[in-house]
Amino acid sequence: MSLMRLAFLSLLNRRVTALLTAAAIALSTCLLLGVETVRTGAKASFADTVSGTDLIVGARSGSVQLLLYSVFRIGDATANLTWESYEEIAARPEVDWIVPLSLGDSHRGFRVLGTTGEYFERYRYRGGRPLGFAAGAPFDDLFDAVIGAEVAETLGYVLGDEIVVAHGLASFSEHGDKPFRVAGILERTGTPVDRTVHVSLRAIEAIHVDWTRGAQAPEGARVSADEVRAMDLRPQAITAALVGVKSRLQIFGLQRWINEYPQEPLLAVLPGVALQELWAIVGVAETALVAVSGMVVATALIGLAAMVFAGLDARRREMAILRAVGARPSTILGLLVLEATMLSLAGALAGLGLLYALLLIARPWIDSAWGLWLPVSAPGARELALLAAVAAAGALAGLPPAIRAWRMSLADGMTIRT
Amino acid sequence: MAPALRLEGVRYAWGAGNRAPESVSGAGNRAPGSVSGAKSRARGGFALEVDALEIARGERVFLHGPSGSGKSTLLALICGVAAPQAGRVEVEGEALSALSPARRDRFRAERIGVVFQMFNLLPYASALDNILLPLRFAPARRARVGRGARAEALRLAQALGLPEALVLRAPAAELSVGQQQRVAVARALIGGPGLIVADEPTSALDVAAQGAFLELMFAQAESAGATVLMVSHDPALAARFDRSVALTQIARTSREAAA
Ligand SMILES: Nc1ncnc2c1ncn2[C@@H]1O[C@H](COP(=O)(O)OP(=O)(O)O)[C@@H](O)[C@H]1O
Ligand SMILES: [Mg+2]
């Protein structure tokens, strides 16, 4: 009978306590792995959102701030970028494509983005996938709108529905005189695009022609929706621009040129670099989260040690028998460490299984609640290393009671004490 | 041929006791000098002295003495679980007192079969697993039974009157005390160790079962050519043995030699 089998049978004999202990280890391992998955999943999803863009350009502020408001629609721009600057950048020889972004208005809680049709061609998510239309097409008419999947779902919009854009992000003044029409509905992307109403840059200009300082002109001085079509709707300023360069080698040159632009203070950032900065900022919270889940695993392992300790007195007879048939005290030590290791490994594996089950069940819900599509893939080196670490820590937790048993078997010899 | 057992000028005391010789031999196990239990649990510092005891091979010896007189202590010395502070313990010509604790454990595994009064078996393993248990720690015994370990275990069990179904499947805890004792004998005998040491193996049995148990044990020990040393507080069993020894005749004990 191998030592492994002996340990297994002994655990089986105490299956209730053993199972409870393993369950605690499983839950804590699941939590630890879950935090890891969400952490890496969130990072990957953020990175996916900016895939394909070489530079983000805006008025000079912080690079994280620029990234957050331009791509993730979090927070607001403090200043704009003039149309002249935009056109000058667009004319640079390094620039392959450029897409303007104009933010500031909203529709029933969703942000309205003014841009050009090129946005739908250039935007890339999840490792280079282009946007797809679930229905309709990019905007054609001045008052056409293209809505994200979540906007359509939440508000129940179909093609042809009328949309009224509100001025600002949380205000009661609406651009009611110039309604839009839903011309296209995008496929779900798991990015902020899902929660955005897209209109043309000219339309943004059009609904604001008769507004000054956040208020519309009095009744008589207003411009009607039909009159506006005839006007020159070139914007004065935009919020930001996404830029693609012809060659990756030119990114830094163009970035320097923009950052040193003499006419107005501008900022160009590499999305990846800005993301790194963002992760550095949230790093503390991340570390805290990992530390807490690590602590939970430690607690479960202390429970394991307590279980082995509690069983020692009842198992003195077993130890005397093993000693009588020739087991060395160190064999008894090894046996207890083996038990602890087997139990923690079983717990850790169960935790991994539990995580996969939870991921599969909760994935659609997490996606719709936070736009986070968590990847379900075979456990990688990192997960396996974590599992091994839990098992090793289990062995370590089994060591104190095992040492106690070793001392007991030395003192007791073959004397059976119960 | 060396006798099955020879003790000379052996002196042993629990407590103060097992520190010195263990730390001298050092190899393998560390000295239990740090074992707090040895000192604190030394119940009155029991000490035992045996001037001489010799048992010939194949002999069946009965050693009796009242409870607490030191019989189990003597067996612990013979089995090499405890090492004497002075004197010599030889089993089949091998001087245990010269061996390291680890070598003594190995020697016990290979050459000695032990039967206790009760609770002989790992309760969660089957009788078969219990019978095979010593082979795990004794490569030479394992080699001797070879591939037929299982068959040999079943043969012994059958010879000791244990139903095969019981041996194969039931967890040991479900066996009656008498059956457990017979499983313990099968375990002591498997692989043919030279010396069977039994510590009050019949005390938990009723009188009728005691006789039957001893007959079975003797028959199997004889066919294996093993020497039997059995201790008991019950002198009534003496008649069934080749020789009967009172512990008081061969040993001096004291309780005040406290650590
Ligand atoms: N492992 C041990 N540690 C300390 N003292 C022991 C141990 N085993 C036995 N003793 C002591 O040795 C003395 C003799 O006990 P024992 O040899 O078991 O007697 P018997 O087997 O004749 O009943 C007792 O006083 C007992 O307390
Ligand atoms: Mg005794």
Q: What is the average per-residue pLDDT within B26-49?
A: 49
Q: Same domain for A99 and A196? A: yes
Residue A251 domain flag:
yes
Distance B186 CA to ligand 2 centre (A): 21
Q: Same domain for A105 and A251? A: yes
- Mean pLDDT check: name the lowest of A278-292, A297-311, A356-370, B16-30: B16-30
Which ligand minimizes its atom distance to the CA of B71? 1
Of A318, A321, A329, the CB nearest to B29: A329
Predicted confidence (pLDDT) at residue A396 exceeds the cutoff of 90: yes
Task: Give counts: helices (H), strands (E), chain A.
Answer: 13, 16
B9: distance to nearest CA of chain A, Å? 22
Query: Tens of pLDDT along A318-341?
Result: 888 999 999 999 999 999 999 999
Q: Same domain for A322 and A387? A: yes
Q: Same domain for A341 and A257? A: no
User: What was the ipTM of the complex prediction?
Assistant: 0.85
- Residue B129, domain CATH: 3.40.50.300
> Which atom number of ligand 1 is nearest to the Cα of residue A413?
1
Which ligand minimizes its atom distance to the CA of A410? 1
The pTM of the whole model exceeds 0.80: no
Residue A188 domain flag:
yes
Q: What is the average per-residue pLDDT within A138-146?
A: 91
Q: Residues whose CB is under 5 A from ligand 2 (ion)?
A: B 72
A27: distance to nearest CA of chain B, Å? 28
Residue A57 is predicted with a pLDDT of: 95
Of A318, A326, A416, the CB nearest to B122: A318
Predicted confidence (pLDDT) at residue B21 exceeds the cutoff of 80: no
Query: Tens of pLDDT along B151-202?
Result: 999 998 988 888 888 888 888 888 888 889 889 999 999 988 999 999 988 8
Residue B27 is predicted with a pLDDT of: 34
Distance A394 CA to ligand 1 centre (A): 36
Domain-ending residue, one of A269, A294, A319: A269
Predicted confidence (pLDDT) at residue A71 exceeds the cutoff of 90: no
Domain-ending residue, one of A237, A269, A301: A269
Which residues contact ligand 1 via a Cβ below 6 A?
Answer: A 412-413, 415; B 14, 41-44, 46, 65, 67-73
- Mean pLDDT check: name the lowest of A86-95, A166-175, A264-273: A166-175
Q: Which amino acid is at A42?
A: A
Q: Same domain for A42 and A62? A: no
Q: Same domain for A237 and A150? A: yes
Residue A81 domain flag:
yes
Q: Same domain for A186 and A297? A: no
Query: Tens of pLDDT along A161-209?
Result: 999 888 776 666 777 778 899 999 999 887 889 889 999 999 988 888 7
Residue B253 is predicted with a pLDDT of: 85
Collapsing DSSP to helix, strand or coil, A221 comes out as helix
Count, residues in chain B: 259
Predicted confidence (pLDDT) at residue A145 exceeds the cutoff of 60: yes
Residue A277 domain flag:
no
Q: Which of the residues B124, B131, B132, B150 would you substitute to probe the A interface, choosing the one with the greatest number of A C-beta atoms within 10 Å? A: B124
pLDDT tier at A299 (50, 70, 90 boundaries)? very high
pLDDT tier at A281 (50, 70, 90 boundaries)? confident
Q: Same domain for A400 and A310? A: yes
Query: Tens of pLDDT along B196-240?
Result: 999 988 888 888 888 888 888 898 888 888 999 999 988 888 888
User: In this complex, do B34 and A407 lie within 8 Å of one another by their Cβ atoms?
Assistant: yes
User: In this complex, do A330 and B29 lie within 8 Å of one another by their Cβ atoms?
Assistant: yes
Distance B172 CA to ligand 1 centre (A): 27
Enumerate long-range contacts of A151-156, CB under 8 Å, 24 or more apart: A151/A107, A151/A110, A151/A194, A151/A195, A151/A196, A151/A197, A152/A182, A152/A185, A155/A108
Residue B16 is predicted with a pLDDT of: 54
Give residue B34's domain range. Answer: 5-256
Predicted confidence (pLDDT) at residue B24 exceeds the cutoff of 50: no
Distance B254 CA to ligand 1 centre (A): 12
Q: What is the percentage of chain B residues whose pLDDT exceeds 90?
A: 31
Count, residues in chain A: 418
B200 touches chain A (CB under 8 A): no
Alpha carbon distances (Å) from B222 to A90, B53, B185, B211, B214: 105, 22, 13, 16, 12
Residue A343 domain flag:
yes
Please tell me the total count of domains within chain A. Answer: 2
Q: What is the percentage of chain A residues whose pLDDT exceeds 70?
A: 95
> Which atom number of ligand 1 is nearest to the Cα of residue B15?
4
Predicted confidence (pLDDT) at residue B111 exceeds the cutoff of 90: yes
CA atoms within 13 A on the CB side of A156: 0
Ligand 1 atom 18 nearest Cα: B72
- CA–CA distance, A113 with A101 (Å, rounded to integer): 7
Angle between helices A3-13 and B127-137 (to 10 degrees): 140
Q: Same domain for A19 and A83? A: no
- A vs B, Cβ pairs < 8 A, gives 100
Sign of the four-CA dihedral B163, B166, B172, B178: negative
Domain-ending residue, one of A269, A303, A320: A269
Q: Same domain for A207 and A60? A: yes
Residue B146 is predicted with a pLDDT of: 83
Residue A84 is predicted with a pLDDT of: 93
Alpha carbon distances (Å) from A278 to A34, A240, A243, A271, A388: 21, 19, 20, 10, 31
Q: Same domain for A176 and A295? A: no
Of B28, B82, B105, the CB nearest to A326: B105
Residue B256 is predicted with a pLDDT of: 63
pLDDT tier at A392 (50, 70, 90 boundaries)? very high
What value does the mean pLDDT of chain A take? 88
Residue B223 is predicted with a pLDDT of: 87
Predicted confidence (pLDDT) at residue A210 exceeds the cutoff of 50: yes
Give residue A88's domain range. Answer: 55-269
Rg (CA), chain A: 31
Query: Tens of pLDDT along A357-387?
Result: 999 998 888 776 666 777 788 888 888 999 9
Q: Same domain for A242 and A288? A: no
> Which atom number of ligand 1 is nearest to the Cα of residue B199?
21
Please tell me the total count of domains within chain B. Answer: 1
Helix (H) or strand (E) holding A198: strand A196-200
Tell me if B11 sits within 8 A of B86, measured CB to CB: yes
* Per-window interface: B 127-186 vs A, CB < 8 A: 129, 132-134, 136-138
Residue B44 is predicted with a pLDDT of: 56
Residue A418 is predicted with a pLDDT of: 56
